[in-house]
Amino acid sequence: MASARDQLLAWIDQDKDVLLDFFSKFVQAKSPNPPGDTLVAVAHITGFLDKEKLTHRVIAPNKIMPNIVASFDSGKPGKHLVLNGHIDVFPVADEERWKNGAWSGKVVDGKLYGRGSSDMKCGTTASIFTYRYLHRIKDQLKGKLTLTCVSDEETFGPWGARYLMEHHPEVHGDCCLNGEPSSPHTLRFGEKGLLWLEFSIATRGSHGAYPHASESASKIGAKLTADLEKLTDIPIKAPDNVMGALRAARTEIEIAQGVGSADIVPKVTVNIGVVEAGIKVNMTPSKARMEVDIRLPVGITADVVLAEVNKILARYPQVTMKQINNNPPSWCDPGHEMVEIIRANVRNLKGFEPKPVISLGGTDARLWRYINVPAYVYGPPPTGMGSYDEHVELDTFYHIVRTHVLSAYDYLTR
C-alpha cells in the first residue's frame, strides 16, 4: 500500500492540468490593488471550493475585498496549522511592455505569465490545493488545518489579514505557512520593518536672482537628504541565532534578492521616495516636501531611528516631520520544526536545502509573528514582481505545491 506521502505526490502528478488551469484562470481574474476590487478572483476560489464540497466562510468587512476562511478539525488532538495567501496583486503600470499580456495567464516556454503569478497567486494556489488534498486524508492527521485567502495585502490595508487577525482569533493557529515569493533557495523566517516619514520644509522664498533674500527649501531638502543617509550607519544588535542564520545564507540571499542584498538585510536603509519643491526656475522655493521610506532590520525599533532623526532635525528649524506608517521588523525561530520539515522536503524533492533568511520586503506573515505565532514563507522567485513580464516556471509552481502539501502533512502528523 502506498504511503500517504506517496499518495499526495501521486495526486499532484495526476492533477497537473487541474492545477495549471486553476492557476492560469486565477491570474486572468484581475485583482489589482489599488484599487483593490478582488471580487472576480474571490469568485474563482469560492467556485473551486464549492465544486470540491469544501465548506468555507467569506468574511468581507469591505464589500469589494472579501477574505475566504476554511477550516477542518481532524478529530484528534494536535497542532493547528494556518495556510495564508493573498488574492490582490500589484497594479500594472505599462501594459504594452508585457510580451505575453499583463493578465493572460498564458504559458510560454514552460513559464506562466501575468501580474500576480509570482506575487502571489502561485503561493495562494499552493495553499488552496494543500487544503484540498489534506482534507481528503483528514482521518490520518492530528490537529487542525485552516486556510485563509485574503485581500488588501499589497497596500498594507486594514481589510485583509489584519482584519482577520484582530476579529477572528480562530485563524491565529500554532504556526503559519505562506507562499509569498522567496525563491526555492530561501525560506523566510522574518522580514524587515518599515518607517515612513514625511518632511515639510518652509522658507520665506524669493526671486531666484536674490538668493540672499531667502533660504531655499529645495537646498535644505538636499542637505537633509544627505544627513538622513547617515541613519544607515546606526549599529544594529540582532539576536545571535538571527545573525548566524544570515551569515550562513549570504549566497542564497543574493540568489533570491539580488547581488548586494546580503549586506543590507541587517542594516537600516533610506529611500527618498518622493521629492517636491518649487514652482518656477527663477524663484527660490519657499516650500518642499519629501516622503522617506526607512527600512528597519531585526534588532532595531522605530524609536531608536526617530531619536536619531530628531537629533538631525534639531539643526533644521525650517523642517517639520510627520510619521506616515510604521511596521516593526518581525522574526521567529529559524530552528523551528517547520523549518526542518520544509528543508527536508526540498532536499528530497530537489537535492538542495533552502536556507532560513530575513526578507527585505514585507508580507502578511508578519502579523502572525507579531502575536508570537511562528510564520514561514516559501514560494517562487520574485521574477518581474512589481515590474513587467512577471512569471513563474511551471516546474517551480509544481515544486511549491508539493513542498507545501508535504510540509503541512508532516506538521500535522508529528
- Residues at the interface with Zn ion (CB under 5 A): 119-120, 180
Q: Residue 220 or residue 401: which is nearer to Zn ion going by CB?
A: 401
* Phi, psi torsion values for 343, nearest 5 degrees: -60, -45
Report the C-alpha gap between 88 and 159 in whole angstroms. 12
Least CB distance to Zn ion at residue 357 (A): 16
Q: Residue 180 or residue 252: which is nearer to Zn ion going by CB?
A: 180
Sign of the dihedral through C-alpha 167, 168, 169, 173? negative
Least CB distance to Zn ion at residue 113 (A): 17
Q: Residue 38 or residue 286: which is nearer to Zn ion going by CB?
A: 38
Least CB distance to Zn ion at residue 233 (A): 30
Least CB distance to Zn ion at residue 229 (A): 28
Question: Please, are residues 306 and 196 in contact by the beta-carbon 8 Å criterion?
Answer: no
DSSP 8-state assignment for residue 38: -
Least CB distance to Zn ion at residue 364 (A): 8
The residues that bridge with 85 in the sheet, in sequence order, are: 149
Q: What is the CA radius of gyration of the chain?
A: 23
Cis peptide before 35 (omega within 30 of 0): yes
Find all residues with CB under 8 Å of 299, minimum gap 6, and list them: 236, 237, 238, 239, 242, 266, 329
| Residue whose C-alpha cell reads 521588523 in the numeric block | 329
Q: Residue 160 or residue 285: which is nearer to Zn ion going by CB?
A: 160
Report the C-alpha gap between 304 and 310 in whole angstroms. 10
Q: Residue 87 or residue 197: which is nearer to Zn ion going by CB?
A: 87
Q: Residue 119 or residue 152: which is nearer to Zn ion going by CB?
A: 119
Least CB distance to Zn ion at residue 153 (A): 6
At 144, list the grid cell: 487542525
